[in-house]
Amino acid sequence: MDVLLDIWQRMTTPHAALAPLTAWLTVAGAALIVLVPPVWRLARHAITIVHEGGHGVVAVLCGRRLGGIRLHSDTSGLTVSRGRPSGAGMVFTLLAGYPAAGLLGLGAAWLLSRGYDIGLLWALLAALALLLVQIRNWFGLWSVAVTAAVVFGVSWFGSAQVQGVFALLVTAFLLFGALRTSLELQQSRSRRAGSSSDADQLARLTHIPGIFWVGVFLAVQLICVALSARLLGFV
């Protein structure tokens, strides 16, 4: 009980905002993670976790039965849900993946704007724990477990400064990483026809070209970046 009370106190105690220079350097660090290819190839697994989690959450909300989630070493993933193969539920489920990281980043920015760095980290831990029970392959289990271990380590053992920097780094990484995955999606689509990407599956379901759906993904992500920058005082 004492541990739970300690966690609750940590989660609900606002932290002071980072110094402006520290905040800008942290955001620059997140941008480098997304822009430097070797680092991005490793960090992209975290975006895949959020992407597949987005599919899973919306599938359940739409009344579909979640069959499990797989995460692969090439940073791809697969979320299996059962229900009608067409209709609004399937459309919303497919729509959810690419915007998920941007929307999560926006939610994280809202929490950070109110000083809840630890609240954000523990919310991420709770989400990872819920996701873990839906993972259906060993690499996926390892990937989610390692991610959760890093978040837990910072939230429990890190100083207030380290926690604040890490929380902002995660937030900015989600926002920038979401944008890069959509740009990569379009590059991949332009190289091969008949793709099974979310955008192309949406195109087949709705008879609206895949490029339109890529545009929707990017629009949502750009709005999330703009709103997050405003919440955090960068603009």
Contact (CB, 8 A) for 11 and 61: no
pLDDT score of 194 more than 60: no
Instruction: Please give the pLDDT value at position 64.
Output: 94
Q: Which two tokens stand for residue 127?
A: 């989400």
What angle (nearest 5°) sits at the alpha carbon of residue 137, between those of residues 133 and 139? 105
Stated pTM of the model: 0.94
Instruction: Please give the pLDDT value at position 193.
Output: 60
Distance of alpha carbon 30 from alpha carbon 24, whole angstroms:
10
Note the pLDDT tens digit of each residue in 32-75: 999 999 999 999 999 999 999 999 999 999 999 999 999 999 99
3-state secondary structure of 161: helix
- CA 221, 51, 145, 5 dihedral sign is positive
3-state secondary structure of 228: helix
**% of the chain surpassing 70 pLDDT:** 97
Instruction: Please give the pLDDT value at position 13.
Output: 78
Contact (CB, 8 A) for 174 and 104: yes
Distance of alpha carbon 116 from alpha carbon 125, whole angstroms:
14
Instruction: Please give the pLDDT value at position 3.
Output: 66
Mean pLDDT across the chain, nearest whole number?
93
Instruction: Please give the pLDDT value at position 11.
Output: 74
Distance of alpha carbon 112 from alpha carbon 109, whole angstroms:
5
pLDDT score of 5 more than 80: no
The domain ranges of the chain are 19-231
- CA 14, 158, 174, 195 dihedral sign is negative
Helices 160-191, 210-231: inter-axial angle, 10-degree rounding: 160
Report, as an integer, the average pLDDT of 6-20. Answer: 81
Amino acid at 62: C
Q: What are the start-end ranges of the H helices in 13-137?
A: 20-35, 37-61, 88-113, 117-132
pLDDT score of 188 more than 60: yes
Contact (CB, 8 A) for 140 and 70: yes
Residue position matching structure tokens 């809202």? 110
Residue 192, CA atoms < 13 Å, CB-side half-sphere: 7
Instruction: Give which of 47, 55, 59, 144 is closest to 102, Cα–Cα.
Output: 47
Distance of alpha carbon 56 from alpha carbon 79, whole angstroms:
6
Confidence of residue 212 (pLDDT cuts 50, 70, 90): very high
Instruction: Please give the pLDDT value at position 23.
Output: 97
Contact (CB, 8 A) for 201 and 94: yes
Note the pLDDT tens digit of each residue in 98-141: 999 999 999 999 999 999 999 999 999 999 999 999 999 999 99
Residue 76, CA atoms < 13 Å, CB-side half-sphere: 7
Report, as an integer, the average pLDDT of 2-27. Answer: 83
Amino acid at 57: V
